[in-house]
Chain A
Amino acid sequence: MDIQIAGYGIICAIGNDAQSVLRSLQEGRTGIGPMRYLQSSHKELPVGEVKLSNEEMRRMLGQDEKAIISRTVLMGAIAIRQALQHAQCSMVNGQWSMKGKRVVVINGTTVGGMDVTEQYLLRMKEEDDLLPLLEKHDCGNSTRKMADLAGLQDAEVCTISTACSSAVNAIILGSEMLKTGEADIVIAGGTEALSLFHLNGFNALMILDKAQCRPFDKTRAGLNLGEGAAFVVLKAPSPLPLWGSAAVSLKRETLAAMKHSPKGGAGRGPFIRGYGNRCDAFHQTASSENGEGAYLAMTDALQMAGLKPQDIHYINAHGTGTPNNDASESAAIRRVFGENIPPVSSTKGFTGHTTSASGSIETVISILALLNGFVPANLGWKEQDESCIAPIGNEELKMKNEEFATARNVLCNSFGFGGNDSALIIGVSPSPSKEGEKHQEAEARVVGEAVITDIEELGELREFVSAGEARRMGKLLKAATITSLKALKEAGIETPDAIITATAFGMLETSEKFLVDMLENGEETLSPTLFMQSTHNTIGSAIAIRTKCHGYNMTYSQGSDSLEWAMRDARRLIETGKARTVLVGCHDEATPLFQEFCRRMGKPVPQDIYSRSIVLSRSSHA
């Protein structure tokens, strides 16, 4: 079953809506330039900022000009409103009317409300009045606030946090929920504002280019960070599709009707035809030489779509501009496509790397390219690098654009820290109907479980890992490693088929250390190791690397609902036959500062450590 994209919204460095993004893409105009809104001392770093102040965005959303709202939330709410408008939904009294429909908002973000936290954290140590701002920090709360602000107060919300692949993973989850009938309408995508935290983190990892980024070019020297949000409105196809299941030829006028028009109305397409999420299981911040995770994700997506490599007409690459990513992605693309690589471009030279939002921003860019029959340029590319595929060059672009008018399918790659690799295929028409998609009756059974609730129990770690391996682990990683390996041992499994993590606050200790050091001592000489271990999916990736698990790897961060979302996903994987064994973990930690804040607010004080791992296995009915 293909999922219908009924509408989309986007805000990024090259435009505040789909029309202006389309224009910038067609005119080859970059949105990367000197810093204007982010208050960083690293003025030498070019960035792809959304060209609006927070105040202007609050005004657009009808909010009090002085209200404290995270930029991540503001951009997300703007993109969602655009998407619903484009899908021709109607708004009544500040709320979208979708009577009787089960609506779910799935958001990909990692930074969440970090921009607010970094502005007020030091003052919170002294001023009680500011403590309530703390709740704007975590990803789950940001998503709730964003949905409310967008006019979706009654919708269920969920946050995926797998670093830079988050937004594509949100679209994947949304598609799965529509296929199983768990939702009627899904609004999926991602949002991420620039923050001092991740700008300095990427800087500490020495992967930021001080010049305009040049993905796949021989002289590439890193990425430029960007920001933005994009969301798509997803529906299961209506019972009477516009094109019959055997539709092969697409008339030009039909295609024209689907093009983005200012009046809205995306027709009945395009469709999400296939997707894959895999783990490179190689390193927290580097990609493997042969691009194993990316290769598997693209292969899965093609298989689900029932397409051959030659059916793909354009690849929107992840292409960050770092020497490592572009070489690894090129190796993976060569493995999948052989000699016949379709036009490829990375659009990060336009938008910058919008991290957790990049997957949905590039999905919308891919849709715009597909429906308007053009290939976006790979800005900045001049010289071929032996280790890289050659993206679409300027001379080829015009010629290819003529061919592309009849293109039908595009592939969009999105990769994240921890080797979290995803691929999405979007087509103008649905797949011929696939009968027999029925799954066998199966049930998920718990076959292993382990829990840690006390720091004292972490001594067990050395039974599982060497001193060298343990040296970088904070208490959360130690606890998660112990419970995961114990639960797997009880289940008699070395490598699970999939790893799903639930965490409300993620890597709190390392993130706080990095943040406090930056706020107290300035934006120089910050620890790359701390930043490398700051994303929520650090945990799931570490377990994947240890268990050599290249399967599906997902991280949920939706406050106290995180575990429930993770268990739902695990059951879905097993019941739909996508996995036989799934390792689910629920891991959270507290720091002395966080505990003190909770105490001062009169809230329950979270315990130092909590880690629970559960192994689920498929058990067929007799």
Chain B
Amino acid sequence: MEQLINDLKLQIKEALNLEELSMEEFDENAPLFGEDGIGLDSIDVLEIIVLLEKNYGIRLANPKEGRAIFQSVKTIAEYVQANRKK
């Protein structure tokens, strides 16, 4: 799980160009959306959907589904662990 969380952080940082967010600052429990968290938006949801398909073979057909799963890096990791195809 630790490894998966770390991988996801790196992949999200790269896909969303979060250059100025250091790995130490990137808390896996911090909310990804909204101003008191990482501050991502609806286009980022789509990028994370692409990332999950590319790296883990997970296909989400509806962005709304994504929003519920993508609360934090931790929740994404749990979802990936349960649903990954690669």
Complex: chain A residue closest to B44, CB-CB: A529
In the complex the two chains form, is B50's CB within 8 Å of A525's CB? yes
Closest Cβ–Cβ distance, residue A520 to chain B (whole Å): 14
The answer for the CA separation of A204 and B54 in the assembled complex, in Å, is 13
Closest Cβ–Cβ distance, residue B63 to chain A (whole Å): 5
Closest 4 CB pairs of A and B: A528-B46, A471-B17, A467-B20, A525-B54
In the complex the two chains form, is B19's CB within 8 Å of A204's CB? no
The answer for the CA separation of A359 and B15 in the assembled complex, in Å, is 35
> With an 8 A cutoff between CB atoms, is B81 at the interface?
no
CB neighbours (8 Å) of A524 from chain B are 53
Q: Name the interface residues of A129-154: CB closer than 8 Å to any CB of B.
A: none
Interface residues, chain B, CB within 8 Å of chain A? Answer: 15-20, 39, 42-43, 46-47, 49-50, 53-54, 62-63
Closest Cβ–Cβ distance, residue B57 to chain A (whole Å): 10
In the complex the two chains form, is B50's CB within 8 Å of A286's CB? no
In the complex the two chains form, is A526's CB within 8 Å of B42's CB? no
In the complex the two chains form, is A529's CB within 8 Å of B39's CB? no
> With an 8 A cutoff between CB atoms, is A88 at the interface?
no
Contact with B along A519-537 (1 / 0, CB 8 A): 0000011111100100000
Q: Name the interface residues of A284-302: CB closer than 8 Å to any CB of B.
A: 284-286
CB neighbours (8 Å) of B62 from chain A are 206
In the complex the two chains form, is B47's CB within 8 Å of A467's CB? no
The answer for the CA separation of A206 and B17 in the assembled complex, in Å, is 21
Given contacts A206-B63, A286-B42, A468-B39, contact A527 B16 (CB under 8 A): no
Complex: chain A residue closest to B63, CB-CB: A206
CB neighbours (8 Å) of B49 from chain A are 206
CB neighbours (8 Å) of B19 from chain A are 467, 471
Complex: chain B residue closest to A468, CB-CB: B39
The answer for the CA separation of A471 and B18 in the assembled complex, in Å, is 6
> With an 8 A cutoff between CB atoms, is A472 at the interface?
yes
CB neighbours (8 Å) of A205 from chain B are 46
Given contacts A468-B39, A524-B53, contact A206 B18 (CB under 8 A): no
In the complex the two chains form, is B50's CB within 8 Å of A526's CB? yes
CB neighbours (8 Å) of A525 from chain B are 50, 53-54
List 15 other contacts, CB 8 Å, given A206-B62, A528-B50: A204-B46, A204-B50, A206-B49, A286-B42, A467-B20, A471-B16, A524-B53, A525-B50, A525-B53, A527-B15, A527-B50, A528-B43, A528-B46, A529-B46, A529-B47
CB neighbours (8 Å) of A206 from chain B are 46, 49, 62-63
Complex: chain B residue closest to A324, CB-CB: B42
The answer for the CA separation of A284 and B16 in the assembled complex, in Å, is 16
Complex: chain A residue closest to B62, CB-CB: A206
CB neighbours (8 Å) of B47 from chain A are 527-529
Task: Jot down 27 A-B pairs with beta carbons below 8 A, ordered by A.
Answer: A205-B46, A206-B46, A206-B49, A206-B62, A284-B43, A285-B43, A467-B19, A467-B20, A468-B39, A471-B16, A471-B18, A471-B19, A471-B20, A472-B17, A524-B53, A525-B50, A525-B53, A525-B54, A526-B50, A527-B50, A528-B43, A528-B46, A528-B47, A528-B50, A529-B43, A529-B46, A529-B47
Majority-rule SS of A interface residues = loop
Q: Name the interface residues of A588-618: CB closer than 8 Å to any CB of B.
A: none
Closest Cβ–Cβ distance, residue B13 to chain A (whole Å): 10
Given contacts A471-B19, A472-B17, contact A532 B43 (CB under 8 A): yes
The answer for the CA separation of A468 and B50 in the assembled complex, in Å, is 21
Interface residues, chain A, CB within 8 Å of chain B? Answer: 204-206, 284-286, 467-468, 471-472, 524-529, 532
Complex: chain B residue closest to A530, CB-CB: B47
Closest Cβ–Cβ distance, residue A209 to chain B (whole Å): 12
The answer for the CA separation of A532 and B44 in the assembled complex, in Å, is 12
CB neighbours (8 Å) of B63 from chain A are 206
CB neighbours (8 Å) of B39 from chain A are 468
The answer for the CA separation of A576 and B19 in the assembled complex, in Å, is 47
CB neighbours (8 Å) of B20 from chain A are 467, 471
CB neighbours (8 Å) of A204 from chain B are 46, 50
Closest Cβ–Cβ distance, residue B67 to chain A (whole Å): 12
Complex: chain B residue closest to A206, CB-CB: B63
Complex: chain B residue closest to A205, CB-CB: B46
The answer for the CA separation of A206 and B46 in the assembled complex, in Å, is 8
CB neighbours (8 Å) of B50 from chain A are 204, 525-528
CB neighbours (8 Å) of A528 from chain B are 43, 46-47, 50
Closest Cβ–Cβ distance, residue A327 to chain B (whole Å): 15
Complex: chain A residue closest to B21, CB-CB: A467
The answer for the CA separation of A81 and B79 in the assembled complex, in Å, is 57
The answer for the CA separation of A67 and B3 in the assembled complex, in Å, is 56
Closest Cβ–Cβ distance, residue A585 to chain B (whole Å): 24
Complex: chain A residue closest to B51, CB-CB: A525
Complex: chain A residue closest to B39, CB-CB: A468
The answer for the CA separation of A524 and B20 in the assembled complex, in Å, is 29
CB neighbours (8 Å) of B54 from chain A are 525
Complex: chain A residue closest to B40, CB-CB: A468
Complex: chain B residue closest to A526, CB-CB: B50
Query: Which of A204, A286, A529 has the largest count of B CB atoms less than 10 A from its CB?
Result: A529
Closest Cβ–Cβ distance, residue A51 to chain B (whole Å): 30
CB neighbours (8 Å) of A284 from chain B are 43
Complex: chain A residue closest to B46, CB-CB: A528
Complex: chain B residue closest to A286, CB-CB: B42
Closest Cβ–Cβ distance, residue A22 to chain B (whole Å): 38
Complex: chain B residue closest to A473, CB-CB: B17
Complex: chain A residue closest to B15, CB-CB: A527
The answer for the CA separation of A398 and B47 in the assembled complex, in Å, is 46
CB neighbours (8 Å) of B16 from chain A are 471
Complex: chain B residue closest to A284, CB-CB: B43
Query: Which of A206, A524, A527 has the largest count of B CB atoms less than 10 A from its CB?
Result: A206
The answer for the CA separation of A527 and B14 in the assembled complex, in Å, is 12
Closest Cβ–Cβ distance, residue A259 to chain B (whole Å): 46
The answer for the CA separation of A205 and B19 in the assembled complex, in Å, is 23
Query: Which of B42, B43, B63 has the largest count of A CB atoms less than 10 A from its CB?
Result: B43
The answer for the CA separation of A152 and B57 in the assembled complex, in Å, is 52
The answer for the CA separation of A422 and B49 in the assembled complex, in Å, is 33
The answer for the CA separation of A467 and B16 in the assembled complex, in Å, is 12
Closest Cβ–Cβ distance, residue B49 to chain A (whole Å): 8
Closest Cβ–Cβ distance, residue B52 to chain A (whole Å): 9
CB neighbours (8 Å) of B17 from chain A are 471-472
The answer for the CA separation of A581 and B10 in the assembled complex, in Å, is 45
The answer for the CA separation of A286 and B41 in the assembled complex, in Å, is 12
Complex: chain B residue closest to A524, CB-CB: B53
Closest Cβ–Cβ distance, residue B42 to chain A (whole Å): 7
The answer for the CA separation of A524 and B49 in the assembled complex, in Å, is 12
